[in-house]
Amino acid sequence: MKNLTAIISLFLLMFSVVNIGFAKSKSDQKPLGVLYKVTGDVKYTKNGKKWRKVRRNKFLFVGYQIKTGDNGSGMITNQETGQNVALKPNSLIEITKSGIVAKSGQLADVQKTSDLISGLLNRFTKSQSYTTVRRSASKPKGAEFETVRKLTISEDFPYFIWQNVNPKYNYKFVIGDKTYDIPASESKVIKVKLDPFNAELNYDIMAFENDQEVLTLKKEKRGRKINYRLVFLSKAENEKLSQDIELIKNDYPDNAYMLGTLYARNNMWLAAVKQYRTFLKEYPDETEMALSLLEAYRRLKLNDIYQEQYETWEDAMKSGKDYTLYPDSLF
């Protein structure tokens, strides 16, 4: 039970700490709870006008309303205390800044599991602070460019990715005593599959045009040396990660967002991108949650994609439209 509690906490750490008795939120863009174990007729609306069916899980923000039919039910987890409440048939609830309000029907306390989120980091707020201060995409200066400085990969996710500086460039990716030759490509990103290695190694990337080296990784910033490192999960670490994944799947099936949170916590940002994209494909109306995907793009130094997708997210938030993902072919 302690392990399950810790794992469920991983997904909760993406969110700001608010109350169902909930403390007041500074932003309506922070989820106050999550609706799960949904059965029967359960619908939600963001604005009281357009109602959509809840299929599996739903993150709840200020202004949302949930209604259940004759056979509808579900559970709601308080993001701050871990308290679970049961949503009964023929109920209408509203998410307010002060908490969850039953406008009709009932919300019944089921159990209080405040230990679920004890010691959690505020991951969703971190995503907000990392993404919502928009900056223009940085371009290589002189003969240097930057990629992610430290990334964890595994047998299941053995890929490394970086932004293609120029479609005319071919690259050499060097890690340990192994070199990978990557031909020139029109793709906006370069993706390379790496062979397993032990523990942690430095890596380097060089770009070439007409057999001449034209770019290298930036090795110094403000007088400090920059190291670029890759970590490969050990067998024991990979087994632990697999156990954590299974625990999440067992309690919250088909919730790729929560798996993305687990990968993000383990510094596996490319794996996190895959899960966040899977989630947003299935739930394109979960525009607010796309902030976590945007953070992952920035962590990976995919600055052009981040900038374009930030503008897409910003437009969706203003217009109420669904969030549009970047093409699958890149990832």
**β strands within 136-223, DSSP E:** 144-145, 150-153, 159-163, 170-175, 178-182, 189-193, 200-209, 212-217, 220-221
Give the H/E segment covering residue 177: none
For 131-142, give the DSSP string. HSS--PPP--BT
Listed by start position, the domains of the chain span 18-119, 121-168+185-198+229-331
Token reading at 117: 């989120």
Question: The pTM is what?
Answer: 0.79
Q: Is 117 helix (H, G, I), strand (E, B) or coil?
A: helix
Per-residue model confidence (pLDDT) at position 110? 66
Per-residue model confidence (pLDDT) at position 299? 94
Q: Can you tell me the distance from the alpha carbon of 143 to that of 116, in angstroms, rounded to the nearest whole number?
A: 49
Q: Can you tell me the distance from the alpha carbon of 320 to that of 83, in angstroms, rounded to the nearest whole number?
A: 30
Q: Which of 24, 21, 32, 25 is nearest to 112 (CA)?
A: 21
Report whether 129 contacts 105 (CB < 8 A): no
Phi and psi at 127, nearest 5°, equal -60, -40
Cα–Cα distances in angstroms (integers) from residue 270 to residues 154, 233, 237, 254, 312, in the given order: 11, 14, 18, 19, 20
Per-residue model confidence (pLDDT) at position 129? 58
Give the H/E segment covering residue 278: helix 269-282
For 13-53, give the DSSP string. TTS----SSPPPPS-TTS--EEEEEEESSEEEESSSS-EEE
Residues linked to residue 108 through DSSP beta bridges, in sequence order: 86
Give, in degrees to the nearest 5, the angle at Cα 283 between 279 and 285.
Answer: 135
Report whether 288 contacts 264 (CB < 8 A): no
Q: Can you tell me the distance from the alpha carbon of 196 to that of 312, in angstroms, rounded to the nearest whole number?
A: 36
Q: Can you tell me the distance from the alpha carbon of 113 to that of 267, in angstroms, rounded to the nearest whole number?
A: 27
pLDDT in tens, the chain (331 residues): 555 555 544 444 444 333 333 333 334 467 777 888 889 999 999 888 889 999 877 888 888 999 999 999 988 876 766 677 888 999 999 988 877 888 998 787 766 543 333 322 335 555 655 565 555 445 555 567 889 999 999 999 999 999 999 999 999 999 999 999 999 999 999 999 999 999 899 999 999 999 999 999 988 888 888 899 999 999 999 999 998 888 777 766 777 888 888 899 899 999 999 999 999 998 888 888 898 999 999 999 999 999 999 999 999 988 888 888 887 767 7
